[in-house]
Structure 1
Amino acid sequence: MFNILNALNSKKDKAIVSVASGIVFPLAQVNDNVFSKKLMGDGVAVKPDNGLIVAPAAGEITMIFPTNHSFGMKLDNGIEILVHIGIDTVNLQGKGFIRKTNVGAQVKKGTPIIQIDNQLLESKVYDMTTMIIFTNRTEYNVEFVYPEIAKRGKTIIATYQRKAENE
């Protein structure tokens, strides 16, 4: 009994949660070849239904693009994640994106990172699909989960294990 509970807790500790509430789907379905062809790495996409983007796990914010449409983080175990908010949103030059934290900040799973103005961005007809990319996935076995509807900061979208741990 205890071994089963430990296994479940271990898997939960090695999980990435959705950065936004909304519909979750594979990167291959994203309407942008850079992401759908996984040129930046593999991951998961979510179509947000509201304007708050949160940390997918605990770690350090290593980069926030000057236009606030993208950020990177490194988890304590070395996993590197890139979160890219929307398609072609870099063209907005930061309009509609409000930074809630800074580079170097240690954040917990679910910590607010970027607030987006959905009304402004949707009025400009931007696709707000948000990609969560594992940029150093070759060092990890990652299993993606597509729960259809996710709750930001709560719903698991991926589990991982360092390759050396299960070889």
Structure 2
Amino acid sequence: MFKLFSKKEENTNDFAAVVSGKIIPLTAVNDDVFSKGMMGTGVAIVPDDDVIVAPCDGEVTMLFPTIHAFGMKNEDGVEILVHIGIDTVNKQGVGFKKFVDAGTTVHRGDKIIRMNSYDLKQEEYDLTTMMIFPGCEKKMSFTTDGYAKKGKTIVAEYKKEE
């Protein structure tokens, strides 16, 4: 009778934007590996902020030594790869600062990485940031336009088995 105040059972997992900026479809990314879905389905954000945050509650499962990308798994086992920029791996970590290590439990909105977008843009790096969900093609839906606020705007939804 008083279900208004009880926690409803959810059958989806929501993922917030990892950075503030303009949301674009993955197909619009200027790199075939991402735009053609070779790494999985996802969404991208053209950032106007330097701080990358956790899109959900979960565990950081990997953090590349070059700090340009990290992997996470949420509490239901959904995996996500966050890749900051195009060819930023070539910077070998210069211009990136990590706030966590692999194995760290995080909550949506927690800081993961800070990039120095000013310096990276001076070197003409495209900082479009991809959120990739490997192996989830049939269960995902995405927001593909508009403005995202990091840690707040839901840009991806995973539909659980019924």
TM-score (norm 2): 0.92
User: Out of 151, 154, 159, which is 1:153 matched to?
Assistant: 151
Give the C-alpha shift of residue 146 in structure 1. 2.6
Kindly indicate whether residue 43 of structure 2 is the aligned counterpart of residue 47 of structure 1.
Answer: no
Give the C-alpha shift of residue 158 in structure 1. 1.1
8 Å CA contact retained: 1:65, 1:71:
yes
> Take 1:111 and 1:74, find their aligned partners in 2: how far apart are those partners?
14
Kindly indicate whether residue 82 of structure 2 is the aligned counterpart of residue 83 of structure 1.
Answer: yes
> Take 1:106 and 1:23, find their aligned partners in 2: how far apart are those partners?
28
Cα RMSD over matched residues?
2.2
8 Å CA contact retained: 2:39, 2:134:
yes
> Take 2:2 and 2:33, find their aligned partners in 1: how far apart are those partners?
44
> Take 1:129 and 1:136, find their aligned partners in 2: how far apart are those partners?
22
User: Across the two proteins, how many residue pairs are aligned to each other?
Assistant: 162
Kindly indicate whether residue 31 of structure 2 is the aligned counterpart of residue 18 of structure 1.
Answer: no
* Stretches of structure 2 lacking an aligned partner (at least 5 in a row): none
8 Å CA contact retained: 1:79, 1:136:
no
The equivalences for 1:30-45 within 5 A come to: 30-45=29-44
Kindly indicate whether residue 140 of structure 2 is the aligned counterpart of residue 142 of structure 1.
Answer: yes
8 Å CA contact retained: 1:59, 1:75:
yes
Residues 42-65 of structure 1, C-alpha deviations (whole Å, 9 max, x = no match): 000000101000000010000000
Residue aligning to 2:93: 94
8 Å CA contact retained: 2:60, 2:72:
yes
8 Å CA contact retained: 1:85, 1:130:
yes
> Take 2:106 and 2:158, find their aligned partners in 1: how far apart are those partners?
19
8 Å CA contact retained: 1:147, 1:157:
no
TM-score (norm 1): 0.89
Q: Say if 1:83 and 1:2 are closer, same or farther in 2 by CA, change over 3 A.
A: farther
> Take 2:50 and 2:104, find their aligned partners in 1: how far apart are those partners?
21
Residue aligning to 2:123: 124
* Stretches of structure 1 lacking an aligned partner (at least 5 in a row): none
3-state SS in 2 of match to 1:10: coil
> Take 2:73 and 2:99, find their aligned partners in 1: how far apart are those partners?
17
